Every structure is written in C-alpha cells, then in structure tokens.
Amino acid sequence: MKYKLLALDIDDTITKPVVDTMSVPVLKALQEVSKKISITFVTARPMQGLIRFLDNANLPPQFHVVENGTKVIRPDRSIVYDRHIAHEEVQTILNVARPYFLEPGFLADEHWVDGSEAQGNVSGLSFSCISKKDAELLKNSVLELDTKYTVYSGRHWTKSDWRAVLVFHKNATKGSGMKYIQTKLGISKEETIAVGDGMTDVSMFDAAGLKVAMENGEQKVKDAAEYICPSVDKDGILEVIRKYIS
C-alpha cells in the first residue's frame, strides 16, 4: 500500500507537551517525507498553539485538526468550522458533573482556562478526578443527558494518580476532522496512517488504514492499534516513517 496521508497527534507523539519544537531528527524526517506524502496534525492544542508549532516546523501548508476536533483549519490557517457547546449546556454539564470532580477547565475562545466558569464560546470542558470511579461516574452522568456529547475518560495530563474526563460537541472528534480532510484531499482511509498516544486519538483510527500507537501511549490506544512504535522519548515516529513511508 502506498500511503498518501500521515495524520499525527503532537503531544507525547512527536514531541513533549507544550513544546513548540520537535527534535532535529524528527523535524528533518518530516520535512523530507512531506515531499512524498501529505502531513496533517490532529491535535488537542488550541489553534494559536498549533500555529506556533507550525511556524517552527516549516512544513508545506495543509489542513489540520485542532482542539480535539472542534475545529479544522485550512492551509491558509482560516477556520473551516467551529463546533462549540452552547452556554446553557455548559452549565448543565457542570451541574451533573459537580459531585465527581476537583477542578474544571474550559477550552474557551481558543485557550484552555481554569475556573468555575468561562467567558466566550466554549469548545470543550475538562474535569480532574481523584479516582477512576469518580471519572466513570462523571462520564456516565454526562452521557445520560438528553443532549449528546463526545466524552473521553483517561489519564490525567499532570498527575499520574488522577483521572481526566473531557467533554466536547457530539460531532467534535479527531476522527471526524480527519474524514473532512481526506474528502478535501481525495485520500481514502486505506491510504492514511494515524499515529497517537492518548484517549482522544482512538477516533483517529476510525479514519486510518494503518493505526499506530506510541509505546508511551494509554493502554486503550495501544489495544486499538495495529502497530506500536517506540516512545516519544526515543523519537518513535522515525521508525514509522522508515517502516511505512521511506
């Protein structure tokens, strides 16, 4: 199979969280392989965070998925669509989740902010829970609402003994963003490689012919993958490129 699209998560997949650069070997490899295959980033980062990353990467302009699928941006960095949660729905989610979380967070107007409420358009909510049980109870309480949402439960981003729950618009997933891009580029699922590590990356696999998880990834991602490459600390994406593209 000749692959035509490489869809990459960023944090803990090709670089460390909040870092706006890649290692030199990874950067050079992606710049070289971009001459053969389209590269799209499918990330949880807010739009401005991705733009800083793109400015350092110096790759050909392309469509990208940001904020876990709430937005897709064009090669000129304009927004294709923005799927946010209505203000009154945000409060309803907070009300049913309140017994189970310690700290809420909001993805509002392209920034993650902490606090009891958010101003502006809310694209997503995050909840920090002290146990897996609380995280599952919170997840189920949101799923039982009349309005449907995309809800994830997985490892916390800073505390290894905590769990996290993320809530987004029902049609906001990394996979749905990838499918939009595939349609625009005329590339099929079978011609696509997806690489990720975290709970929101599993939906990427629904749009991929080759599903790759990082060795440092969550178990549910590795269970859904066809191939597990070395960890981000070992620049594992280089093995994916050598094995399936170069």
| Predicted confidence (pLDDT) per residue in 161-175, tens digit | 999 999 999 999 999
40 closest CA partner among 74, 6, 75, 70:
6
Tell me how many degrees the CA angle 60-66-72 measures, rounded to the nearest 5: 75
pLDDT at residue number 116? 67
**For position 204, what pLDDT does the model report?**
97
Report pLDDT for 246.
82
d(Cα 216, Cα 176) in Å, to the nearest integer?
A: 24
Domains of the chain by start residue, with CATH: 5-81+172-244 (3.40.50.1000), 87-169 (3.30.1360)
Give residue 33's pLDDT: 97
pLDDT band (50, 70, 90) for residue 51 = very high
Question: 113: how many CB neighbours lie within 10 A of its CB?
Answer: 15
Give the model's pLDDT for residue 79.
Answer: 95
Mean pLDDT, residues 41-45 taken together: 96
pLDDT of residue 232: 98
Taking only the tens place, the pLDDT of each residue in 18-31 is 899 999 999 999 99
Distance (Å) of CA 203 to CA 122, 174, 221: 21, 6, 10
Mean pLDDT along residues 63-80: 96
Q: Where do the DSSP E strands lie in the chain? A: 5-8, 38-41, 64-66, 71-73, 79-82, 103-108, 111-114, 122-129, 149-155, 163-169, 192-196, 210-214, 227-229
Give 180's pLDDT tier (boundaries 50, 70, 90).
very high
> Residue range 42-52: average pLDDT?
93
